[in-house]
Structure 1
Amino acid sequence: MKYTQLGRTGLKVSRLVLGTMNFGPQTDEADSHAIMDAALASGINYFDTANVYGWGENKGRTESIIGSWFAQSGDRRDKVVLATKVYGNMAGDGDAWPNHDKLSAVNIRRAVEASLKRLQTEYIDIYQFHHIDRSTPFEEIWQAVDVLVQQGKILYAGSSNFPGYKIAQANETALRLGTLGLVSEQCLYNLAERRAEMEIIPAAQDYGLGVIPWSPLHGGLLGGVIRKETEGGRRASGRAAEALADPTARAQFQAYEDLLAKHGLEPGEVALAWLLTRPGITGPIVGPRTTEQLESALRAAELELSDELLKSLDEIFPGPGPSPEAFAW
């Protein structure tokens, strides 16, 4: 496994990030533990979760599964760079009260304590804001973060789903207050969805944030979904099925699969490998439901893509280009 610095920090993280969103809803506790064992054995040291994972009545379940895994061995926690998130309402259905969600100092304090308990750990390495909070000023957010850092409960702060201007606003406020600010941004970014190249990734690079793409396979569309349908495998559903219902989009994904078939390459592995070639990218989040899917992601981390292939991929999935040129001269 290769490692890199997380943005401008001294923290070394693996170039693949283990996403845990499936732990609980789709992968039971025993299999989730096996995946984490395999990830750590392969050298993946960056684990990502969120307090709301588990969803619905089971919100928090994913953090609890990770916590039970940590509890089985004393050195696991020391080897893992642990990231979780705050924003969503963690109260049960019908029990929501004011201040039980978003990024007020009150909710940040409450959410950290609850996550620490579920994760069975004394600290969180990277505490991430899952969404922007238009109602809470960054002065308040950084005050809450600084208190938690001083208490040793978190080490760094990161963002997720922030637009470029909010990354700038957050870190300009942090600079004025003399605090570290955001060190990472998780954003939707993959071959088929490249709008992050316009402003989010440039902002992250300018402010020294590591970029962690989520949905690297674009909901399975970049994983060879058309071939799998043809071979009688699981059919696309949800947003993937809606996308393939558009003849133009279907032709685009078909061209992608045909190109990689010509080169004898697996679509999902190429989609991950492509992200690892992109400027400013720390590493994509992979969310395996099985150890076999994790093994595929590990192969992608070692895959070298030729300049010719990269050019062909750009022709199929052209990015929007930087801002403002993407929409102006």
Structure 2
Amino acid sequence: IDPAGTAIWFVQALEAAGATVARGGDPCVVPKARKNGVEQDGARRAHLVDAIALCRFLHWLDSEGVGRSELAAAARLDAFRALSPDYRGESFPAISGSGPNGAVIHYRVTEATDRTIGADEVYLIDSGGQYPFGTTDVTRTIWTGREPGPDAVRGPFTRVLQGHIALARARFPAGTTGHALDALARYALWQAGMDYDHGTGHGVGSYLSVHEGPASISPVHRPVAVEDGMILSDEPGYYRPGAFGIRLENLLLARPAAAEANRSFLAFETLTLAPFDRRLIDAGLLTPEEIAWIDAYHARVHDAVAPHLGDAEAAWLRAACTPLGGAPLGAA
């Protein structure tokens, strides 16, 4: 029995029945978490299929979402995913929270709490899909107004985005634990006296559990190193009770990185493909390196997803992926 992941009830029941229980780590968890080449290619495929559905949903939300309920929005996203013959269902019940409901970190919308998505407010959608070749988990925070969001929202949003970028760009020695990486995602928030009360990242399975051990990125120290082939979430956030919640989540694949001859380093490949809401980005808070990362990521999202969308959806995505301070993609 692995005491780190098994309820004590099983030990008690086995011992009461006369069994001898050996306590030790499960030898399967680390090899399972280290995705092989087939699983890594499957994850990339799953995230592209999922991105098509997610971008269709974000276009729908931008044009028709105001006035719809949180439950209706979650159902609409599920319906877009179901257009793929490979879709096998949600990887977890979607967190669909508008306004103050989004400030509840693990909010689960019910008929009793279902709220109408209003204009000029923050909407948070955290969801994922299961496909035979991979599992997805993605969170986007959206401003439902036509004009840029207010500074009271754009400031925290941009600091969450800075933390997200810092972790996504990280290069670190082999043997580094998620505990050592966690502060990267919080640093920009800390500088403004802000923080969030949940872990930054969890492992993700391959058509398995969307929350997979043993590695994580969290203030809680776990003596498990991030290894080549592991898929982890990158999801810093900020929550203002009674007002709004912000979380930005992509999935990252740990891969070998260039280093000195006598050293071994890792870096992350971003798997998720979906735009961040430019209406909530305060470019004045960003460094040139951060702006370059966002623009390169958005260009990658556009080039990968746009060919699979209808004309109206593709036009929306082109505008959503406009470089910060620049002309829309493809503009003369």
Q: Which has the higher helix share?
A: 1
TM-score (norm 2): 0.30
TM-score (norm 1): 0.30
Q: Which has the higher strand share?
A: 2
